[in-house]
Structure formats: C-alpha cells, structure tokens
Homo-oligomer: A and B are copies of this chain.
Amino acid sequence: MIVILKQNSPQKKVSELIDKFHSMGVSTNVNLGHYDTVIALIGDTSKVDMDSILANEIVDTVKRVSEPYKAANRKFHSEDTIVEVGNAKIGEGYFNVIAGPCSVESEEQIIEVAEAVKKSGATLLRGGAFKPRTSPYSFQGLHGEGIRLLLEAKKATGLPIVTEIMGIEHIDLFADVDVIQVGARNMQNFQLLKELGKSDKPILLKRGLANTIEEFLMSAEYIMASGNNNVILCERGIRTFETIVRNTLDITAVPLLKKLSHLPIIIDPSHASGVAWLVEPLSKTAVAAGADGLIIEVHNNPECALCDGDQSLTPANFDKLMTNLKKRAEFEGKKM
C-alpha cells in the first residue's frame, strides 16, 4: 500500500502517522520527493483500512498495490477450481451449457424445455421461480411451486437444476436445488452472500450491472470467506452509455478473471444482449475467449413467455447453436 502525503505536511504529524502504521504491524519506507512525500507500507496490509488512512489530515491519496481478495486470488491458489454438479464438471478444460426458460411457468412447459435442451447437449437446467422484475406489476414467478416443478423436470431428465434466490428467508425452499444463483442485482447483497457461504452448494454468482471486476471477486470472496469454495462466476453484460442493446457484454472479463482468479467463469449471452438473434454470435465469442460455459434462455414458445421472451431461443434454434458450439469447444480442446 502506498500513502502519498499532502505538500508541506508538518514533520510531527508525519512521524505520528508512521508510528500508527508500525502499531498496525506493517513496516514503512519513506520517500521524500521534491513536492510529495510517499510512504510505502510493507507487510500484510489486508487488515489496513484505506478509508481510515485517507481520513488523516495530512494524507492526500492512498493506493493499493496488492489485490484485496485472497481466497479467490490465483496468486494464492494457482490450480483451476472445478465445481462438480451431478456429473457435470464446471471449470477449465470443460465447456458446459446451462439452458432453460427465464421463468418456470407450468409442469408441461418446464419438462418439455428440459427434455429438449438435454437432447441438444445442455448439462444443467435453468429456470426462474423467484423473478426480480423492475416493475411490481410484472409477473414475479411461481415461487415454491416453481422449485417443485424444476425438481419434477430434474426427475424426468436427470439434469441438475439452477435457480435464483432473492432472499435468505427462502433458503429452506432451495434445499434440493443443485446450484443456487445470485442475480446481478444481488451481487452486493452481502447478507445473502454470507449465508450462502455457510452452505456447500455450488453458487452461480452473476456480476452486477455496474460492478468492477475487483468488486465481483470481492463478492465471491464473501462466499468463500464463509467457507464455500464452490463459486461459479458469470458475466452477463454491464451497463454503459450504449442503448442499442440492453447491456454491453464485457468479453475481456473472461481472460481477466482467468488470470486473476482460479474460479470458473461462464457467460450469459441472453441477458448480455437482450435479443435472441445476438445469442449465437455472443456464444461463439465466449468459447473463443476461453469461457468455461454458457447460460442460455430457451423457451418452447417465446412469444407467450411470461418474461424475457424476446431474448429466448426456441428449442430448434438452441439445437442448431449447440451443434455449432460443439465443434468450437472441440477446436479449443475442451470437453463438452
């Protein structure tokens, strides 16, 4: 950590600050410049709070040198993490596609979609039971009944299920769910992250709309710090000035996260674009970027979907896409 002092700080104050650092168990190296004094803190600075240093009247700026996350950091865990869900292995060397409707709507719907996506090669089934919607007047999901229907679809197809949790108060309903999803709007719902850290279930953590890569990894760190290392990261588009598509897919996040962390990273091309025709090209870029998989919305009747119909593929289009993706995964030397 680097601490830059204000110009002409009184020597007495500087000495007091240095003593304070020593009392925190870090050593210091002081550099007197012509205009600025720079103090380098040496040792384990992970317990040093940048904010409280900045509050000191003689401090101008504080800059971190090392990442504030540890459990999720590849520097301290060089091997790739593989998250196992049923027979699926999610992580480096594999390419898994999670597919299913935005919302679970009926037993018939979810089983029909589950059978279709399984046949095309999906290894996990997604479906929303609790739906975060911008408007209180929009369809909010079937809740407990939705989870029950997902479990029926699992029974029928053998596919493990992935579904989103919106609050700690529902956690008992998720007892038989295979992968619990934390949505983009809850990426910094720290109470929820801590609670999920106490479980050993795989967690699919979506990046927030306007959260940095570092904040994303800090949220994974919340889950891991509580003891759960089964975290799957998911980039699903960020919010920028561009309005022609719903979000801007940050494809660079894939190689960056692979370098900074050992956790698996998948892409959600359906939410990243918000329109069905872009799912195919964005899925192709995800494979090329080195992602470990995809999560794709598929609906047996997109025009009648209760939610996100415009970004859902039909089972036929999904099948065509999967045929194409298999060749690409093979090209990259990945098992799919």
What residues make up the interface of A, taking CB atoms closer than 8 Å to B?
2, 4, 7, 29, 31-36, 38, 40, 42-44, 46-47, 49, 51-52, 54-57, 61, 63, 65-66, 68-69, 75, 132-140, 166-169, 185-186, 188-192, 194, 209-210, 212-215, 218, 221-222, 225-226, 238-245, 248-252, 254-256, 259, 272-273, 275-278, 281-282, 284-285, 287-290, 302-310, 312, 327-328, 331
| Residues B52 and A42 in contact, CB atoms below 8 Å apart | no
Copies of the protein in its oligomer: 4
Partner of A255, one of B47, B242, B278, B308: B278
User: Do A250 and B242 contact each other (CB < 8 Å), given the known contacts A36-B66, A289-B284?
Assistant: yes
| Residues B308 and A65 in contact, CB atoms below 8 Å apart | no
Partner of A135, one of B167, B221, B254, B310: B221
A29 to B31, CA, bound (A): 7
User: Do A189 and B190 contact each other (CB < 8 Å), given the known contacts A36-B66, A65-B33, A134-B215?
Assistant: no
Chain B residue numbers with a CB within 8 Å of A281 are 252, 254-255, 288-290
Min CB–CB distance A33 → chain B (angstroms): 5
A49 to B209, CA, bound (A): 22
A323 to B75, CA, bound (A): 30
Partner of A241, one of B188, B239, B310: B239
| Residues B213 and A244 in contact, CB atoms below 8 Å apart | yes
A102 nearest CB neighbor, chain B only: B51
Min CB–CB distance A30 → chain B (angstroms): 8
